[in-house]
A and B are shown apart, each in its own frame.
Chain A
């Protein structure tokens, strides 16, 4: 018989292997610590939301619209109520007085239209999958069974699927107010002048296909009440924001609401949301007085977890004949889907400041129109606006290079901000604080063997090899560390971008770090422990990190936008410094010395020039006992900090992809992939590398595999993992990664953030490689995802099949040339 795992023994094995990290001068920050989180994850002792069982728990199943757009003329749930085990069967009408409207926290413009978004539809459905009724039963099978007994009559309305058609006169309307959700403009410099008489103008249209984020853990919600207060467990990235929003949406007072994000199995932006199911489960537990649980199936998730991307980008670039960029114009259509969810309209605008990339130019002009369609709403997906922007500029710069007959890296060198020029105020109004594009690029070229591959490419072209080689370049930067609150305010965002941390040195000298960040795979328990261990001079093992529960970590702005280290981690550091200042004051008092004479080193406060000292553990006990404290000194050694960053941070890097394209079959094989990223100083290189790997994989997936496909009636066709292809190990290459390091100037750790970098960088690197391989065939674009069929059809000169009606810009649609 297998014996049960012994927690102590497992802990010791984990601790022993944690020593594998290479210590740098005894400091924790910078060390490749193995993760604290792993112990429970590799042994199955996890608390996923669906694992939670409470006495008397009931199970919820939702009936969802099978039609993209329809008026609901009748819903009858009475037969379902008679089914065995069914406790309740409810329709949108039953929730009408209490369900409110799902929030949009980012009213981006004066003209924004924010339609009413009831969590459960009662009059009209606007996308396939919208909930129209629910069953609550004693087990999950019975709940699903009883959905069959609910009758719904629909009066079909016209689906609205194509953004351009949606904006045309006479289009059927998604909402009464029309299909335009907002318009938004931004400009820097004089674009008119930059384009007037420009020797070279490149015009392109790129389609950012709709993606499904596909975190491995499906969403789940558990809601319970004791009659007066409510607890919601949810697979969410944002327990704090969710608490505020649930209070505002349902009217349940905020102080009676507790939100817990237990172990959360990935998010990638998809769990940065206030969902219909969260609101409805909360209302159900209030109505029934019993704990309720809902866990989505994957098919349900593909239909109703918000989607990402889905933009049509028209980009124009004006340049001199020597390759110098004069200006860029961008005109964007962004598919909102049927409603504006938490930050839906803001997503394309997060890219608005990034279409200039790492380049100097005289003028930049950006406009965006948000469009309603009868599809699942879009919202944040890894990178959120910035991958789209990076794709457009990096693809277009490659087009410029081709137009001028230059090497794509040479064109970039002529335009990028040189390392001596930082801090640099960009044409888009941001100040890039630091970077060294030259260093990252040189390193990437060396690792790839750039020149040798170019020679092989030339040889294959000469030989007319049916398998052509392409080299794709992506020199990206991104704005992350969301965000300075005043900037968010100026962009009409509904909240700030600060983060909170509390640090408590307990009477026994152990340390609790409480963070408002809400990790779901990022390794904060490990990284925050490293930061606190260094700052307080305590062992890494003596720090525990608490998060993800509004009763335990009451303040926070949660985890998204590569913000956690840059904002949350700095908050932890600041709180440690506050604790240290307090400890120094107490040490001076106990040592009868002037505070100015007390020095701190590796956990001990000593009087300068003497061996007399107090350890932080001794001081914690003294502060707890409180018998002998300085005048006005509050007992306990703890501190709280709310930190608001002054600037974004700007990671950057150079990604190079070598791809072989079989011109006979259209098959693309990535032969090698090199990523050199500059994410500033690094707290844990192991975690950073893991983030880069995963990010690259998701970016490659957009380039080659993934697309949410709707048919001409608005039915989602990619509802399972058999239809929506997230890559397996066999589909991806190994990655060669390295780092260059220019510290961020905007924070004391010099860190920049790494969660989204790989995804932002890799998509254009891959597509640039494919197009580069096919240049001799007259190809200047392949629409994503670059499946064998799309590549083959592009080569055959045929238009790829328009699986969604949105104009699939292929080779034929773009044009470039001299003016």
Chain B
């Protein structure tokens, strides 16, 4: 069995893995990183999105063996010194989640989107998150959250959270 060395959320692991073992199953079943859920078998839903060497991947579509010598960050490793990542904070502030199952992947994908496009338009956000499906929110609040997260990550003071009555984007 291949032996891999992989760093996950700052901890280095040495693991023997079956060649067919999926990264998401390594994370969930072996390393206890259950913050990253599985939503489909076909790479469509994006719930299992994590960062692999700084880029977002769907961990159901990556073999554990491919993560050898790689640095993986999951939703559990976001945020530093006990603080929420601005994107986590933004999802909370804009009510961008309901059941929360897609949320870890959505947050990781949103952060990756901003890496390429730090100040995306609404359309760019919608296109950029096309690979991450949410069944609860209808996406409007997710778009708002990503915008808010972008502002905070660029150091701007965020506008007060919108809430309640008539809202258009």
Contact = CB atoms under 8 A, between A and B. Distances in A.
Contacts of A266: 98-99, 101, 135-136
Nearest to B161: A20
B59 interface: no
Contact of A5 (B82, B126, B169): B82
A522 B98 contact: yes
Given A218-B39, A729-B143, A13 B83 contact: yes
A164 interface: no
Interface string B139-169: 1111100000000000000001101111111
Nearest to B123: A730
Interface string B10-52: 1100000010110001001100111111111110110100000
B13 to A, nearest CB: 13
Contacts of A736: 166-168
A202 B18 CA distance: 64
A8 B126 CA distance: 34
A177 interface: no
A730 B121 CA distance: 12
Contacts of B25: 140
A218 B130 CA distance: 20
Contacts of A35: 92, 95
B42 A722 contact: yes
Interface stretch (A242-250, A431-439, A684-692, A764-772): A684-692
A635 interface: no
B135 A10 contact: no
B100 A2 contact: no
A10 to B, nearest CB: 6
B103 interface: yes
Contacts of B101: 48, 215-217, 265-266
Given A46-B100, A722-B44, A728 B131 contact: yes
B167 A694 contact: no
B81 interface: yes
B15 to A, nearest CB: 14
Interface stretch (A36-44, A394-402, A786-794): A36-44
Nearest to A42: B88
Given A42-B97, A522-B98, A694-B138, A22 B92 contact: no
Contact of A44 (B44, B104, B136): B104
Contacts of A5: 76, 79, 82-84
Interface in A236-274: 263-266, 268
Contact of B84 (A43, A215, A217): A43
Contacts of A687: 95
B6 interface: no
Given A20-B161, A265-B101, A521-B99, A42 B91 contact: yes
A695 B137 CA distance: 8
A9 interface: yes
Interface string B89-115: 101110101111111100100000000
A591 interface: no
Contacts of B139: 693, 697, 728-729, 732
A112 interface: no
B93 A521 contact: no
Contact of B40 (A20, A45, A263, A721): A721
A14 interface: yes
A811 B114 CA distance: 46
A172 interface: no
Given A46-B35, A51-B34, A729-B130, A265 B166 contact: no
B9 interface: yes
A171 interface: no
B150 to A, nearest CB: 15
A45 B75 CA distance: 9
B64 interface: no
A50 interface: yes
B112 to A, nearest CB: 15
Nearest to B164: A685
A9 B80 CA distance: 11
A690 B138 CA distance: 8
A40 B165 CA distance: 27
Contact of A217 (B37, B132, B141, B164): B37
A739 interface: yes
Given A264-B99, A693-B138, A730-B130, A22 B28 contact: no
B69 interface: no
A773 B16 CA distance: 61
Count chain B CB atoms within 10 A of each CB in A693, A722, A726 and give the residue with the most.
A693
A298 interface: yes
A687 B164 CA distance: 9
Interface in A1-36: 1-6, 8-10, 13-14, 17, 20-22, 32, 34-35
A814 interface: no
A10 B82 contact: yes
A298 B48 CA distance: 13
Given A2-B80, A729-B130, A690 B137 contact: yes
A216 B45 contact: yes
Nearest to A20: B161
A53 B168 CA distance: 44
A21 B95 CA distance: 11
A336 to B, nearest CB: 25
Contacts of A628: none
B38 A685 contact: no
B20 A141 contact: yes
Interface string A697-734: 11000000000000000000000111000101110101
A75 interface: no
B84 A13 contact: yes
Contacts of A728: 126, 129-133, 139
Contacts of A45: 35, 76
Contacts of B103: 41-42
A523 interface: yes
A726 B135 contact: yes
Nearest to B167: A737
A232 to B, nearest CB: 19
B125 interface: yes
A488 interface: no
B74 interface: yes
B87 to A, nearest CB: 9
Contacts of B81: 3
Interface in A288-310: 297-299
A268 B135 contact: yes
A520 interface: yes
Contacts of A738: 165-166
Contacts of B44: 720-722
Given A734-B169, A736-B167, A42 B84 contact: yes
Contacts of A214: 135
10 contacts: A5-B76, A34-B92, A35-B95, A43-B76, A43-B79, A728-B129, A729-B126, A729-B134, A732-B126, A736-B167
Interface of A: 1-6, 8-10, 13-14, 17, 20-22, 32, 34-35, 37-46, 48, 50-51, 53, 139-141, 214-218, 263-266, 268, 297-299, 447, 520-523, 685-687, 689-691, 693-698, 720-722, 726, 728-730, 732, 734-739, 758
Given A521-B136, A694-B137, A720-B41, 15 more contacts: A2-B78, A3-B81, A41-B100, A43-B84, A217-B39, A264-B99, A297-B41, A695-B138, A721-B45, A729-B127, A730-B126, A730-B129, A732-B138, A734-B122, A737-B167
Interface of B: 9-11, 18, 20-21, 25, 28-29, 32-42, 44-45, 47, 73-84, 88-89, 91-93, 95, 97-104, 107, 122, 125-127, 129-143, 160-161, 163-169
